[in-house]
Amino acid sequence: MAKQRQSKEAFPATQMTWINARLDEGVKGRRDVAQHLMEVYAEPLRIYLLGSSFRSAGEPEELINGFFANRLAREDYLEGWRASEKRLRRWLINGLIFYIKEEFRRQKRGGSPLSEEAEANLEDPEDQYRAFDQAWAASIVRRAMSEAAARCKEEDLEAHWDIFVRHHVQQQPYAVCCQDHGVDAARAAVMARTAATRFREAVRDQVSLDGADETKIDDELAGLRSLLQ
């Protein structure tokens, strides 16, 4: 018990605040957390499965849907994660592997086991963590873009966000993307800078939600970037 309390306190405030607030809401809050997990982690998990020996276990989408439905229906599943001090993405990968192995055992008992060859190949493919982390990086960037776009809309900064996307994602020069907004290139650069601050906070929130300590977020971002080189 003491260990569990200590582990929970070790989590950064922003992550604890959001997760705790949702979990304290009961069923609805857990649905919000589940929604977040599916939106951010499903695609990286799918890519992980496709590159691993587990790809023979079934359709990745079905396995992932089954995994989320099974594990997230358990009230104590995220409590286990918080006590573990693991990053959320590692917790979910391990959970997915355990889930697939459980499914194998269940199929065996039910008389429709996997082939011996497929079962013999089941292992935890460490090298696939790289592909998973690359996919997770893209996933949190997409999520952060979605949140930053919504934030900009709320603040009447939609033009700022549009210029940010055109310049930083579509690689248009400011001199081009400013034209639809009736501003010059210099103003467009400042508008993108404003949108970038919203995006920056959204990315850092996503990394924090994965369980990274506030002081380690820059290290985490640097690690992810090195994986993308």
Residues in the site for another protein, rule: CB under 8 A?
27, 30-31, 34-35, 38, 42-43, 46, 61, 64-65, 68-70, 72-75, 134, 137-138, 141-142, 144-145, 151, 155, 157, 160, 168-169, 183, 186-187, 189-191, 193-194, 196-201, 203-204, 218, 221-222, 224-225, 228-229
What is the smallest separation between the CB atom of 6 and another protein, expressed in angstroms?
Answer: 26
- What separation in angstroms does the CA of 8 have from each of 28, 41, 63, 81, 157? 22, 22, 30, 10, 37
What is the smallest separation between the CB atom of 104 and another protein, expressed in angstroms?
Answer: 21
Quote the tokens at residue 132: 């998973």
Q: For another protein, which is the closer residue by CB, 121 or 194?
A: 194
CA separation for the pair 48, 129 (Å, rounded): 7
Q: Are 14 and 208 in contact (CB under 8 A)?
A: yes
What is the smallest separation between the CB atom of 117 and another protein, expressed in angstroms?
Answer: 28
CA separation for the pair 220, 211 (Å, rounded): 11
Q: For another protein, which is the closer residue by CB, 9 or 76?
A: 76
Task: Tell which residue, 183, 147, 146, has the closest CA to residue 163.
Answer: 183
Q: For another protein, which is the closer residue by CB, 1 or 27?
A: 27
